[in-house]
Amino acid sequence: MEKTLVILKPSAVQRGLIGKIITRFEDKGLQIVGMKMIFLTDNVLEVHYAHLKEKPFFKRIKESMQVSPVVAMCLKGVSVVDVVRAMTGPTNGRSAQAGTIRGDFSVSVQENIIHASDSVEAAKIEVKRFFKEEELFDYPQLMLPNIYANDEY
């Protein structure tokens, strides 16, 4: 089954939204297979946000991601990359639809609460970037038959 990387950004940590957001993933039926609080170093951010390195606001994004530790999560499920991106909503919290995490908790482009991998390829790389093998857990999801039909997973 697919895995994806989520980061609850300092905008979520500082506003006390960690629990509410994790609850959404649990309620949806996604399995948490890795979770930890970490501080994002300059080096990690320069790799993770390499596609934004030339932008004038890159320094500001980096600083914003270092306001506090973040919560890194690895979630597992059928098509979990797309499922979590849909739950996340578009980058700009002001245009994100109500019902999405950004739509419900953010009115900003930068302070938009959450990072979620945007493709299966990116997810594989990003999960490896933030989790060692021994930090990811392979355990049975006991309610699987109630969460999916048996031809879905």
| DSSP label of 24 | H
Site for ligand IDP contains 57 (CB under 6 A):
yes
> Choosing among ligand IDP, Mg ion, none, which partner's interface includes residue 50 (Cβ < 5 to 8 Å by kind)?
none
Considering the complex, what minimum distance in angstroms separates the CB of residue 85 from ligand IDP? 8
Q: Which contacts qualify for 102-111: CB closer than 8 Å, 24 or more apart?
A: 105/12, 105/15, 105/17, 105/20, 105/21, 106/11, 108/11, 110/57, 110/60, 110/61, 110/64, 111/9, 111/11, 111/64
**Contact track, ligand IDP, 58-97, x by CB under 6 A:** ---x-----------------------------x------
Site for ligand IDP contains 122 (CB under 6 A):
no
Of the candidates 2, 82, 104, 118, which one interacts with ligand IDP according to CB under 6 A? 118
Which residue among 115, 117, 126, 127 is the active-site one?
115
- The verdict on whether 48 is a catalytic residue reads no
CB atoms inside a 10 Å sphere around CB 122: 15
Interacting residues toward Mg ion by CB under 5 A: 118
Active site amino acids: 115
